Every structure is written in structure tokens, then in C-alpha cells.
Amino acid sequence: MIRIRTMTAEDLPLGMRLKGQAGWNQTEGDWRRFLAMQPDGCLVAELGGVAVGTSVVTAFDAVAWISMVLVEQSVRGRGVGKALMIRAVKLAEELGCTTIRLDATPLGRPLYESLGFVPQYELTRFAGDGVECLSPNSTRQVVRIGGSDEYAATLALDASATGANRDKFLRRLFTEEPGAVRVTETSGRIDGYLTVRRGSDAIQLGPCIAETDGTGCTLLTDALSRYAGSWVYWDLPSSHLAAAQLAESVGLAPQRQLLRMCRGEGVNDDVARLWASSGPELG
């Protein structure tokens, strides 16, 4: 019998084991961030009294993200993932969310489609060593550390491009590593930002929102130079040609494909301004 319950800090070893089996990049700090942001959204599946799966629901006002859907390898195919997803969808609706989104792996896509999720667009993960590179000649923008007094403007820019109020997530990222928050401005107005998340295997570049291609290139070029010699992941919309061209030009290679999916009322990212996703966890 499958039982779904709320996750606690005692389940962190489970989460780390399952993400390790899947080859994902999360750290214990990521799990603790999920628990802090949405304690009632972190779920564990038990099969015969043994914890064998996880999923996470994070509500951003009317938009919910489902992530970290992981099942112990030895019990896959026994309905654990489906039970987790059914409970996650119901929980998102109980939280008042009219839109539910996720980034699907090829393995998970059939399950999500069976539950009413529809494709929105593909993302490509580029991976490789950060490299020293020159700033684009098309812009003279200065990339600088964003101050805490600029977070509100930065969050407003993010919401305008993603259609979601991700304050409770982004403020945690910003305060965990304030020196990694970089911004650009034009005429005194924030028109681009980028931050990073340090994972177990690589530095995840993003999220990054930029009003123009020049701003996006400037922010990502700066980040790649700052993390030169470190392994980096960069998740970007597959249709974003300027971002993909920059990634390829500095020697990063496509590693995996993800499919952004939605259930309920449609919320569409402004893909032209989305230069880097925060990763599959929260879009």
C-alpha cells in the first residue's frame, strides 16, 4: 500500500539518496530551502511502510511548481510516482493555485500528460567549464553586485517575465549568496539580473532575466568568466538562439533536454527575456 505523508528534516537522507540515484545536482541545502519555503508542500511516499519517493509543491500565489518527483529505483513501475503526482496536484489546488507547472524529463513526461499537463516549450541544459571570455562589443553596460535595496525592482522584473511572484524563492537565493546577485541597469532602471545556485556537481547559472540580447549576453559572459574553471550548468529555452549561440561559442555542450509543461490556466514565460532558468526545481 502506498501512503503519502509530509516530509520532515529527518527525510533529508532519503531525498539526497534519491537525487543521487537520478544523477541530479541538488544539495541538502536545496532540500532545506524547499522545507522552509513550503513545509506542507514537501511530500514523501511510503510503500509497505518504507520511504521510497519524494515530490515538492511550491506555491507562488496562483502558480504552483511541482518538482523533485523521485522514486527509488527498485520500486519503479509500481505506481509510486503516480500517487505522488496525484497528491501533489491536489495539494496545489488546495493551496488555491489555478496554474500548475513543472519541467519534465523524458521519463516523466507520459505520467504528466496522463494527468492533464500539456507541453509549453523545451529547455536545453548546456554544461562545461566556465571560461574567461570578452564582454560583447554591442553593449557598454556594467555588471555589478545588486544591493538589497534593489531586490524589489529585481523581483518585479522577474515576475514580469515569468508570470509568477517568486519572491520567497529568489529572496532566499539572494540572501544565501548576496555576492552572486548581479544586475545591469539603463537610465537608472534595473533591466537585467542573474544569480546562481551551487549544486553538488556543478554551479547552476540562473535564473537570469534580461530585457535585451545585449544585456543577456553581458550578464552570462560575466558569470562564465567569474566561474572560469568550475563546472557549470546552464538551462535555457531551446528556441532562444542568442543564448544557445553564446553557450556553444564558449565551448559548453548540450547535456539534456527538459520539457516545460502546464496544467490549468496558461502562464507563459517571456522566452525572449528568459536567458537562464533557475533549474527544473522552480523554473
C-alpha span between 222 and 233 (Å, rounded): 15
Which residues have a Cβ under 8 Å from the Cβ of 218 and sit 6 or more positions away?
135, 136, 139, 141, 143, 184, 192, 210
User: Across-strand partners of 138?
Assistant: none
Structurally, the chain folds into a number of domains equal to 2
Whether 30 is covered by a domain: the verdict is yes
For residue 269, the cross-strand partners are none
pLDDT in tens, the chain (283 residues): 999 999 999 999 999 999 999 999 999 999 999 999 999 999 999 999 999 999 999 999 999 999 999 999 999 999 999 999 999 999 999 999 999 999 999 989 999 999 999 999 999 999 999 776 655 444 568 999 999 999 999 999 999 999 999 999 999 999 999 999 999 999 999 999 999 999 999 999 999 999 999 999 999 999 999 999 999 999 999 999 999 999 999 999 999 999 999 999 999 999 999 999 999 999 9
Cell of 255: 547535456
Instruction: Say if strands 63-71 and 50-60 run parallel, antiparallel, or are unpaired.
Output: antiparallel
* Residue carrying the nine cell digits 513501475: 77
Q: Which position has the grid cell 516545460?
A: 260
141: exposed, middle or buried (C-beta count within 10 Å: 0-12, 13-18, 19+)?
Answer: buried
In this structure, are 165 and 264 located in the same domain?
yes
Q: Is residue 282 part of a domain?
A: no
Instruction: For residues 19 and 26, give the distance between their C-alpha atoms in angstroms, rounded to a whole number.
Output: 7
Q: Bridge partners of 108? A: none
CB of 192 within 8 A of CB of 209? yes
Tally of CB atoms within 10 A around 267: 18
CATH number, domain containing residue 141: 3.40.630.90
Burial label, 275 (beta-carbon count in 10 A; 0-12, 13-18, 19+)? buried
In a domain, 113, yes or no: no
Q: Whole domain around residue 232: which residue ranges? A: 124-276
Bridge-based pairing state of the strands 144-145 and 203-210: unpaired
